[in-house]
Amino acid sequence: MGTVTIGVSIAVPEPHGSELQQLRAGFGDAAAHGIPTHVTLLPPTEIDEASLPAVEAHLAEVAAAGRAFPMRLSGTGTFRPLSPVVFVQVAAGAEACTLLQQQVRDPAGPVNRELQFPYHPHVTVAHGIDDAAMDRAFEELAGYEAEWPCTGFALYEQGADGVWRKLREFPFGGSVVPPQAGRVERGSVPIR
């Protein structure tokens, strides 16, 4: 066994997820189709593949203690000039996301890690593209609005091709999915 790169996130549901992914691609972000639209709880993290079961057990515990909460996206923001990112803002649900990401990265858990930047829940719509396209993304999505009830989160793995694929969903409130249920085998069709 080797290492794998994982991430934990809240998926932006349909039709919003596909809409934002298509817009991201339209702004010229080549990574758009390899990254399901999401709010990050654990950024890309390299772990030993053998520790995946412990990570899944930890995430199941976090989810079991969680409760659904309202998520609302509204308007845009940017991390420029510090980081070349334009995002849609999390207007409701930010506190719950912040608490969840702390629980996911619990120092006593299997994915304890420091963040490069302070946590700020958001949905990336442009990353690492030219400034004019970043400006266009910021302006065109300034009035963007979407809302839904957040009922859980998911574990993803980044393939050798750079595409992120869902390994397992973790619904809130004790509805624990058996460890192998919902798992996507490596090499399967990516989530688009």
Tell me the pairing of strands 145-150 and 122-127.
unpaired
- What pTM did the predictor assign? 0.87
SS3 156: strand
pLDDT at 30 over 50: yes
CA distance 169 to 166: 8
Residue type present at position 162: G
Backbone angle region of 28, left / alpha / beta, with phi > 0 → left and psi within -120 to 50 → alpha: left
In this prediction, residue 117 carries a pLDDT of: 86
Stated as kind and residue range, the H or E segment containing 99 is helix 94-104
pLDDT digits over 55-105, tens only? 999 999 999 999 999 999 999 999 988 889 999 999 999 999 999 999 999
Q: If pLDDT is split at 50, 70 and 90, which confidence band does 192 have?
A: very low
Q: Which two tokens stand for residue 101?
A: 């990401």
Q: Which residues contact 125 (CB under 8 A, 6 or more apart)?
A: 20, 23, 24, 27, 29, 76, 86, 87, 88, 137, 141
